[in-house]
Amino acid sequence: MRVLVTGGAGFIGSNFVEYLWKRYPHYKIVVLDALTYAGNPDNFPQSLKNSDRFTFWQGDVRDHALVQDLVSRADVVVHFAAETHVARSIFDDRKFYETDVLGTHAVASAVMRSPHLDRFIHISTSEVYGSARRVPMDEAHPLEPTTPYASAKCGADRLVYSYHITYGIPSVIVRPFNNYGPRQHLEKVIPRFIVKALQKEELIVHGRGEHTRDWIYVTDTCKAIDLLLHAPKDKVVGKVFNVGTGRETSVIEIARLLLELIDSPSGITLVKDRPGQVSRHRASYQAIESAVGWRPQVSIEEGLKETIEWYKGHGDWWKKLLWMLKVPFRNEKGEAIWL
Ligand SMILES: NC(=O)c1ccc[n+]([C@@H]2O[C@H](COP(=O)([O-])OP(=O)(O)OC[C@H]3O[C@@H](n4cnc5c(N)ncnc54)[C@H](O)[C@@H]3O)[C@@H](O)[C@H]2O)c1
């Protein structure tokens, strides 16, 4: 089996590559990644990099010729590559549409021209739903993206759907909820809180921190993608699957839980809320459970403990990123501000 993974040097992609490499010793894995600020070759263990089962291509998913060549030599494609940070998308949205929509267009077009391909797993996001109109949120929940990131991912999600309907591409659309775990960039809220707490600095919370998310540990997501990759085609192709835990926790609760687990003296400071903030998310995972028997296995308490341990043991990985803790975005007057 030859698996092409786009965006494999990022947070979820690198966890998935390592998971696949360990679980399937005969698989060949090809990663295509542009190594933007979010991609990091250190995310791959050295033994994996040295292995002849692993090939790395530094390149852009918008490069049709390169993508066509790599897809034509793969059996399955898992497409993670994207610009992923909501707050950055409020500062500079153009590259979100270019990477997330046009990059997905390049991948889906290559898939269309590769009839031998077994399946194409497109990694979408729960952000496409916007705030919950009802909970738990199933896959039929209206798509009401509230930020440029979410709308770009929504465009990509619907592009893949339309290619399945029009050209019959063997796509599976996955909508993970909020992932956390080792190797997540410090711009994202859980690692940001962890490193702030480890350094005994204030945790900055947007709004009153009452907005909830369905937090899922990254290995649970990897297992879900694995099952979708190997299930009988008729159970998954052409379908959309949420990957979440069915449990919601507010950001302020996460902050307090982390401070307690780390036993940190840091305080919590509330600042103005971010525009487009999603107020509530809680997934229904009934569709993926019925199709492939997946259920989340890691509780938020266990997952946070594992994540804290990883950041405690990998200061060399995250200290280089501390300067990126502040993220620029544009306010309603078009002024750039840093949060
Ligand atoms: N992290 C989450 O909570 C979450 C939740 C739901 C969905 N997702 C989706 O999962 C996927 C992976 O998310 P992540 O958190 O690992 O993101 P990430 O930002 O950590 O990684 C993204 C990767 O894509 C690469 N990339 C960016 N632009 C590229 C381009 N033009 N060509 C090739 N590679 C490019 C980056 O170098 C990086 O390695 C994304 O599609 C994201 O939308 C993430």
Q: What residue ranges do the domains of the chain occupy?
A: 2-338
Task: Find the angle CA(107)-CA(96)-CA(13) to the nearest 5 degrees.
Answer: 55
Print burial letters for 314-338: b (CB count within 10 Å at least 16), e (below 16).
eeebbeeeeeebebebeeeeeeeee
All residues at 6 or more sequence positions from 50 whose CB lies less than 8 Å from its CB, including other chains: none
pLDDT (tens digit, 9 = 90+) per residue, 219-238? 999 999 999 999 999 999 99
User: How distant is the alpha carbon of residue 240 from its chain centre?
Assistant: 16
Q: Is the pLDDT of residue 332 over 90?
A: no
- pLDDT bracket for residue 337 (50, 70, 90): confident
Distance 14 CA to ligand 1 centre (A): 10
CA distance 272 to 208: 8
Instruction: Return the bridge partners of 4, or none.
Output: 30, 77
Alpha carbon distance 274, 86 (integer Å): 10
Structure confidence by residue, pLDDT tens digits, 165-215:
999 999 999 999 999 999 999 999 999 999 999 999 999 999 999 999 999
Strand partners, 172: 121
What residue type is assigned to position 245 of the chain?
T
Q: What's the gap in Å between 38 CA and the centre of ligand 1? A: 8
Between the CA of 4 and the centroid of ligand 1 the distance, in Å, is 15
User: How far apart are the CA of 40 and the centre of ligand 1, in A?
Assistant: 11
pLDDT of residue 118: 98
**CA nearest ligand 1 atom 28, residue:** 82
Residue with the two structure tokens 């307090």: 256
Asked if residue 178 has its Cβ within 6 Å of ligand 1, the reply is yes
Which residue's CA lies nearest to atom 22 of ligand 1?
A: 10
Higher pLDDT, 323 or 66: 66
Q: Give the residues across from 240 on adjacent strands.
A: 173
Instruction: Compute the distance from residue 181 Cα to the ligand 1 centre, in Å.
Output: 14
Residue 206's DSSP bridge partners are 271
**Position 265 pLDDT exceeds 90:** yes
**Integer Cα distance of 20 and 330 in angstroms:** 39
Distance 280 CA to ligand 1 centre (A): 22
Beta-ladder partners of 174: 123, 241
CATH number 3.30.540.10 is the correct assignment for the domain at 2-338 = no
φ/ψ bin of 238: left (φ > 0), alpha (ψ from -120 to 50), beta (otherwise): left
Q: What is the pLDDT of residue 301?
A: 98
Point out the ligand 1 atom lying closest to the alpha carbon of residue 35: 37
Classify strands 76-79 and 119-123 as parallel, antiparallel or unpaired. Answer: parallel
Mean pLDDT over all residues of the chain? Answer: 96
For residue 178, which atom of ligand 1 is closest to its CA? 3
Least confident of 89-98, 299-308, 313-322: 89-98
Our mutation pick for probing the ligand 1 site, out of 64, 78, 84, 129, counting the most ligand atoms within 8 A of Cβ, is 84
pLDDT at 334: 78
Measured CA to CA in angstroms, residue 126 lies from 51, 196, 337 at distances of: 34, 27, 27
Give the least confident one: 88-97, 127-136, 245-254: 88-97
Residue 331 has pLDDT above 80, yes or no: no
Q: Decide: 89 and 148 in contact? Cβ < 8 Å.
A: yes
Say if strands 249-250 and 212-213 run parallel, antiparallel, or are unpaired. Answer: antiparallel
Tokens matching residue 283? 């997934």
How far, in Å, from the CA of 124 to the mean position of ligand 1? 10
Is ligand 1 within 6 A of the CB of residue 103?
A: yes
| Predicted pLDDT of residue 329 | 74
Give the E-state strand segments of the chain in sequence order: 2-6, 28-33, 54-58, 76-79, 119-123, 171-176, 178-180, 203-206, 212-213, 215-217, 240-243, 249-250, 268-271, 328-330, 336-338
Pick the residue with more confidence: 2 or 91? 2
Question: What pLDDT is attached to residue 49?
Answer: 95
CB 146 near ligand 1, within 6 Å: no
Q: How far apart are CA 17 and CA 332, in angstroms?
A: 40
Q: Compute the distance between CA of residue 257 and CA of residue 177 in angstroms, rounded to an integer.
A: 20
pLDDT in tens, 52-108: 999 999 999 999 999 999 999 999 999 999 999 998 898 889 999 999 999 999 999
Q: Residues 255-269: what's their mean pLDDT?
A: 98
The residue type of 233 is K
Using most ligand atoms within 8 A of CB, pick from 30, 67, 80 the residue to mutate for ligand 1. Answer: 80
CA-to-CA dists, residue 222 to 116, 205, 244, 290, 320, angstroms = 24, 29, 12, 18, 27
**Residue 274: what pLDDT?**
86
Cα torsion angle, 117, 29, 181, 231, sign: positive
